[in-house]
Amino acid sequence: MTPQTLQVDIWFDLVCPWCLIGKRHVERARELLAQQRPGLGVDLRWHGVQLLPGVPRGGLPFREFYVQRLGGADAVRLRQAQVVQAAQRAGVVIHFDRIARMPNTAAAHRALDWCAAHAGAGVHSRLLERLFSAYFIDGEDIGDTPTLLRLAAACGANAGQLAASLGAGATSSEPRQGIADGVPCFVFNRRVALSGAQPPEVLLEAMHQALGATRHAPDEARTEIAP
């Protein structure tokens, strides 16, 4: 990293709607920073974490999973309404009614890692965005290997090579670990950390703080981070 680059490490899971919202917020904060600091590069580094490593490889029925997790249909309805409103403010339309399965995200994270290592940053970026939209907007099962390969190929990955990689790692059941207790978690230049889907303005202030140019510390308020 050069002095003209801000490194932003982001811990996330693909089944966490707050991570999709946080993605939109950090992208907006990056746009605002570019207006204020032309020529400064921002390096977003995405680190996958499984929030629910105990979900079977074939997934679970989505509605039944959340009714049991939150204690009833009314609690699920209230939680989803909260998320939908926050997503709309971030410019995202989430369709919970289209989601049939709660997937195990291990293979999807491995696909992203493989793309970062073998297909390039552009493919990784496109696949990350496509996986979020496939799940929260289109209701696709992103734990399904054929679905993953189709989405990755549409983003420019070599599906055959990726399939071999996913097959080689299919026996692993260890949860993916990160430094974060919850996601999304943002760390700026390894100096300033924020948890939750913070507003773009809060993320922007944290960016300035990490660059040594802040006027005041960002708010410590935390946003709901449960999936």
Give the domains, in start order, of the chain with CATH numbers. 1-49+180-227 (3.40.30.10)
pLDDT of 227: 54
What sign for the dihedral angle of Cα 151, 153, 158, 163? positive
* Cβ atoms within 10 Å, residue 110: 20
Region 90-107: what's the mean pLDDT? 97
Region 204-226: what's the mean pLDDT? 64
Radius of gyration of the chain (CA): 18
Residue 220 clears pLDDT 50, i.e. is over it: no
Where residue 118 falls among pLDDT bands split at 50, 70, 90?
Answer: very high
Residue 180 clears pLDDT 70, i.e. is over it: no
pLDDT of 168: 73
Region 137-143: what's the mean pLDDT? 98
pLDDT digits (tens, 9 = 90+) for 28-58: 999 999 999 999 999 999 999 999 999 999 9
Region 91-96: what's the mean pLDDT? 97
Where residue 169 falls among pLDDT bands split at 50, 70, 90?
Answer: low
CA-nearest of 225, 192, 226 to 29 is 192
What mean pLDDT, rounded, does the chain reach?
A: 89
pLDDT of 182: 80
Where residue 214 falls among pLDDT bands split at 50, 70, 90?
Answer: very low
Q: How far apart are CA 153 and CA 205, in angstroms?
A: 37
pLDDT of 174: 42
Region 204-224: what's the mean pLDDT? 66
Residue 80 clears pLDDT 50, i.e. is over it: yes
CB contact set of 160 (below 8 Å; sequence gap of 6+) = none
Peptide bond into 227 cis (omega under 30): no
